[in-house]
Amino acid sequence: MLQQIITQSIIEFQNDCSMLSQRHYPTIHNQGMKEYHLSVTFARRLQRALLELQLELEPSVINYPLQGASGNEPDYLLKISCCMGNVWVISHHFAHAGTSCRSQLINKIKAWQLDYQTAIEADDLLFIISDHWISRHKSSQELLYWWMGAIPESIEQYTQQGVKLCKSASLLIDDLQHHFNRQPSFMQLGHPLKRISDQVDIKKYIHFYALISYPMLTTSFD
């Protein structure tokens, strides 16, 4: 039930991001969204969806610091709690999509496990939100394949906007399996930004989503 609400909330979350981009044009169109804003915007959307269900206990959102994860801005995670369970939200901005930037996401998950291992309960869910501006660099063009494990069937829509996509030698699901012995139960991508002129999706800007159930069985720190 909770997983269904999360997946349904993604659509409304993308609409929220689209509205934010119009309000803050051209900042988001040029730079993407701050990691914290990604987390907060989704958490509020999920909280709103849970409130509409009129549950016995109202859902709460708590902000936690995340230690040990490198980056240019402070790392935080959010925890949305309700009577159906807990959802931890980690956000990550792929600045350049290279190996080091991908490793930073893995390190965030490791830091979350280490910092909050006593707070993570059975059947908790980890929801990961990432964003990226696709560039001409090969690592950037491979990121979609690394996350999703496939090139979209609508590849011509990317080509029409001058976006090149390539296959990646590695996959996120393999990295998660290696480090955490877990694979996502749900993975998706989205293009929340629209061209001002005709409201067509901007394919160069992309959101990635992944949902993982917990507790994780093992963790490798190599």
- Three-class DSSP labels, 179-201: HHCCCCCEEEEECCCECCCCCCE
Of 219, 172, 209, nearest to 46 (Cα)?
A: 209
- Chunked into runs of 10 residues, the chain (222 residues) has average pLDDT values of 92 88 60 81 92 80 78 77 92 91 94 91 93 95 98 96 97 96 94 87 95 67 52
| The pLDDT value given to residue 79 | 95
| The pLDDT value given to residue 24 | 55
**Amino acid in position 216:** M
Instruction: Read off the pTM.
Output: 0.90
Q: How many residues does the chain have?
A: 222
